[in-house]
Chains A and B, each alone.
Chain A
Amino acid sequence: MSRNEVLVDAEWAIAHLADEKVVFVEVDEDTAAYDTNHISGAVRLDWRSDLQDGTRRDFVSKEAFEALLGKKGISADHTVVLYGGNNNWFAAYAYWYFKLYGHKDVRLLDGGRKKWELESRELVSEVVELPVTTYVAQEQDTSIRAFRDEVIKAIGVENLVDVRSPDEYAGRLLAPAHLPQEQSQVAGHIPTAANIPWSKTAAEDGSFKSDEDLKAIYETAGVDFSKDTIAYCRIGERSAHSWFVLHELLGAKNVRNYDGSWTEYGSLVGVPVALGDEPGQA
């Protein structure tokens, strides 16, 4: 997978705003941002109400995903260009989600909404409704999704990459610093996990750093690209961003996102936990 196949820039986006084979989709942590304004012609996906099962902690079923995308006017043949705020944090999560259900051509707008806004590019408030389609999804590709028992077996064996901030990794914070800190689970990280914050991979304007810089970030932190890799964060969103970097930009094999992440692992009874700035022992 090359960078050109998974990333588009603003010029490409502008040239394809009216392209019927392309659908722009905004996915934001602030789901109301779309209501204020968005890229012309873009539809919205709500990471919570659209992409999460309303009862269990899991994703929507294949049938529900098909119904959702059909209703949004997206077909399996469309090139889907995702973008959102905070360095494409949630857009990358949606990218991984689309890949989980087998969508062939998904791309991210490099830099997302932030770069677009900081460059003072046009945003509109008009909402479009695309013609309904019959979307056909694939069964979940679990080669890119890790579950808790696989994570425990991977301690000291595979690359474990904790992409949270250093303070969350060390146990000094339980959540990102833009959120209140009261949580139920214990603090810390999975032993042997390297701390490579997701944010290291993005420039200040939200665009991804060069492949050379990205590879150096992971190698310097001890990632062995000959091994399988599991990335995790707090609930699997930031680690989807790092999964995108490792799997889609750098072409690393066998990279999985552990979407249960720290809110699941840190609540498990009897599993090992490491505290402090060092990875700890298996």
Chain B
Amino acid sequence: MSSCGAVVGGVSLDRVDIAKEAVIQGVVHHDGKPASIGYVRLHDANDEFTAEVPISSQGEFRFFAAPGNWTLVALVPGATKRAEVSAELGQITDLDLLVA
């Protein structure tokens, strides 16, 4: 039985059929460089928490959402950043989250 747990940086896209997924992924930046410690939370259109992943050592994260509007919340020590994003089936939506 596979875990419900989150893989650091998000699950690899290897062996994933992108046509059946609405992927949201990106990199968290803090102080002008990729953050190495932090988390990204995915909230649905009602701002309800849906999922969370620890970022990779290069600040990377990835979600497999449903099509629609979502909010990303990046957490790093001492700072947070929210960003709106729209996901579509069969597409990979890439974005950078810049945490001041």
Using a CB–CB cutoff of 8 Å, the interface residues on chain A facing chain B are 28-30, 32-33, 47-48, 52, 57, 85-87, 89-90, 114, 117-120, 165-167, 172-173, 175-182, 197, 199-200, 204-205, 233-235, 237-238, 263
Contact = CB atoms under 8 A, between A and B. Distances in A.
Contact of A48 (B3, B54, B64): B3
Instruction: Give the most central of B48, B62, B73: most A CB within 10 Å.
Output: B48
Interface in B1-19: 1-8, 10-11, 16-17
A90 B5 contact: yes
Contact of B1 (A29, A52, A199): A52
Contact of A30 (B6, B17, B44, B80): B6
A47 B73 CA distance: 27
Given A86-B52, A165-B48, A177 B4 contact: no
B1 A263 contact: yes
B50 A167 contact: yes
Nearest to B48: A166
B5 A30 contact: yes
A178 B20 contact: no
Main secondary structure of the interface of A (DSSP, over half): loop
B36 to A, nearest CB: 10
Interface residues of B, number: 39
5 contacts: A28-B5, A118-B77, A178-B42, A181-B64, A238-B4
Interface of B: 1-8, 10-11, 16-17, 20-21, 37-39, 41-42, 44, 46, 48-54, 62-66, 73, 75-78, 80
Contacts of A85: 5-6, 54
Nearest to A173: B66
A212 B4 CA distance: 29
Which 4 pairs from chain A and chain B are nearest by CB? A29-B5, A199-B49, A177-B51, A178-B51
Contacts of A30: 5-8, 54
B6 A197 contact: no
Nearest to B49: A199
B72 to A, nearest CB: 11
Contact of A165 (B1, B7, B44, B73): B44
